[in-house]
Amino acid sequence: MPALDPHHALLRRQWALECDALERRRQRLLAAAATAALGLRERWPMLEAVWLFGSTTTPPTATQGFRRHSDLDLAVAGLPAEAHIAAMAVVERQVDAALAADGEAGVAIDLVRVEDLEPHWQNRIREQACRLL
């Protein structure tokens, strides 16, 4: 196998550093999502479950997975419809506090009620997403 030219070697090193930084941020977001799920359960003990889905669930690779601007996608089952906005505020506070502890800025958050999704998406989340509680 021929040696890489210096330009390609530099690009590989830069990508490796970027992947390491992305993975550290992803791990912080995973921990923040777990904390947010517990915050939701404290406020609404009747929740059936909270799942994490989307790019945050997969490590960064050259073609897919977590990226610098990935958002945090959460699905919740058993949350009353009228509590959706309040639940979003709980999640935002929990995640912002967790990231601020590491000196990081916030992240965009999507919080969906499983009951509001089409059956296909409900099944997909229940079967494939990362259950936090």
For residue range 15-46, list pLDDT tens digits in order. Answer: 778 888 889 889 989 999 999 999 999 999 99
List all residues 6 or more positions away from 95 whose beta carbon is below 8 Å from its beta carbon. 29, 32, 33, 35, 36, 72, 106, 107, 109
The predicted pLDDT at position 84 comes to 98
C-alpha span between 17 and 31 (Å, rounded): 22
Q: Considering just the CA atoms, what is the radius of gyration of the chain in Å?
A: 18
CATH number of the domain that 37 lies in?
A: 3.30.460.10
Mean pLDDT of the chain: 89
For residue range 79-100, list pLDDT tens digits in order. Answer: 999 999 999 999 999 999 888 8
Instruction: Say if 75 falls within a structural domain.
Output: yes
For residue range 49-72, list pLDDT tens digits in order. Answer: 999 999 899 888 767 788 888 889
pTM score: 0.85
Instruction: Say if 21 falls within a structural domain.
Output: yes
Residue-number span of the structural domain to which 84 is assigned:
6-131
> DSSP letter string over 48-67?
-EEEEESGGGS---SSSS--
